[in-house]
Every structure is written in structure tokens, then in C-alpha cells.
């Protein structure tokens, strides 16, 4: 189910995905004004993976991004974004899901990190498996991807 991309294709697809993640982080930061605001939209720490979930040769892109921000008085603070997108006919990513949190709000909004695509329903379609990290532990979530949305079908399985 992994969709193979050359390094050049991956870099080409990463730029618009990083733009989507940066916009979502900016919107999230505006809603949480008490937290350090990002001074730069430059996300350097990210992973981009592509999956062909329905064997149609149309990739579903998943970006996990981290944007560290200097905290007044020192300390560690970061924004985390996960963006899932499908490519339109022109090859541009269309966002179908995003999740944004920060290191101070993991109790309310867990951090999603892609693990892999799995065929859990034996129907020939892949689902996305995410690790949900919070300040109290880790559990897992399984999402079914549709052309224009994602639906959670399972959550649980606390980590060891």
C-alpha cells in the first residue's frame, strides 16, 4: 500500500503539504494566544509518506510536522501538525484531515503520528493507523479515508 515516490517527487509534494500544515498551525496558535506564537512558518522537522489505499494509483499523502518555538524564559515548546491530503487532477494536495496540537495541550489534543496503512477490514482498502500521544500515555487510532474526508473507526489499545 506504500506509494513509491522518487526523492524529487517527495520534495515536490512536501512543499504544498508544509504550506497546509503551516496554515493550520497559525490558525491553532491564534486560538491559543497564551502560548508562544510561531515567529517563522518554516517547518524543518517533518515526515511525508504516501499510500495507495484503494490501489487506484492515486496517493493519499500524510505529513507529520513539528514546529519548535522559543519559549519566553527558556524551555521546550513545539507545535505538532498532522495533515492528510489527496491529490486533485492537477497533482495538488487537497486537505481532507488535519490535527494540530502543542506540547502544552497534549492532554486535550493528542499528537497524531502516522504508523502505517493496514488492511484491517479484508475489503481491499487500506486504513491509516496513527499513534496518539498525550501527556498521560499512548494509544492508537484507525481511520478510514474517503475521497474528501476521514472517519475514525477504532481508538484504543494503550501502549506499553
Q: Is the pLDDT of residue 119 over 80?
A: yes
Q: How confident is the model at residue 41 (pLDDT cuts 50, 70, 90)?
A: low
Cα gap 132→113, rounded to integer Å: 7
Q: Which residue has the higher pLDDT, 147 or 47?
A: 47
Cα gap 53→11, rounded to integer Å: 21
Q: Is the pLDDT of residue 114 over 70?
A: yes
Q: Is the pLDDT of residue 160 over 60?
A: no
Give the containing element (helix H, strand E) for 155. strand 150-156
Break the chain into its structural domains and give their ranges. Answer: 7-156
* φ and ψ of 150, to 5 deg: -130, 145
CATH of 7-156, one of 2.30.29, 1.20.1070, 2.40.128, 2.60.40: 2.40.128
Average pLDDT over residues 135-151: 90
pLDDT in tens, 57-110: 889 999 999 998 877 777 778 899 999 999 888 888 999 999 999 988 888 889
Grid cell listed for 149? 474526508
pLDDT at 134: 84
Q: Is the pLDDT of residue 48 over 90?
A: yes
Contact 153, 142 (CB under 8 A): yes
Per cent of the chain over pLDDT 70 is: 96
Cα gap 60→51, rounded to integer Å: 5
Query: Which pairs count as long-range contacts for 138-145, CB under 8 Å and 24+ apart, including other chains?
Result: 139/110, 140/115, 141/112, 142/118, 143/84, 143/97, 145/53, 145/60, 145/84, 145/86, 145/96
Amino acid at each position: 500500500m506504500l506509494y513509491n515516490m522518487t526523492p524529487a517527487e517527495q520534495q515536490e509534494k512536501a512543499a504544498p503539504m508544509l504550506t497546509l500544515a503551516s496554515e493550520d498551525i497559525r490558525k491553532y496558535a491564534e486560538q491559543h494566544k497564551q502560548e508562544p506564537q510561531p515567529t517563522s512558518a518554516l517547518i524543518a522537522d517533518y515526515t511525508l509518506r504516501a499510500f495507495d489505499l484503494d490501489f487506484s494509483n492515486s496517493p493519499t499523502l500524510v505529513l507529520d510536522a513539528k514546529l519548535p518555538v522559543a519559549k519566553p524564559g527558556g524551555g521546550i515548546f513545539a507545535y505538532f501538525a498532522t495533515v492528510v491530503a489527496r491529490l486533485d487532477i492537477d497533482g495538488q494536495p487537497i486537505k481532507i484531515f488535519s490535527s494540530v496540537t502543542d506540547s502544552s495541550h497534549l492532554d486535550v489534543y493528542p499528537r497524531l503520528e502516522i504508523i502505517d496503512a493496514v488492511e484491517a477490514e479484508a475489503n481491499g482498502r487500506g486504513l491509516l493507523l496513527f499513534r496518539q500521544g498525550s501527556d498521560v500515555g499512548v494509544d492508537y487510532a484507525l481511520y478510514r479515508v474517503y475521497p474528501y474526508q476521514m472517519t475514525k473507526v477504532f481508538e484504543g489499545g494503550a501502549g506499553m
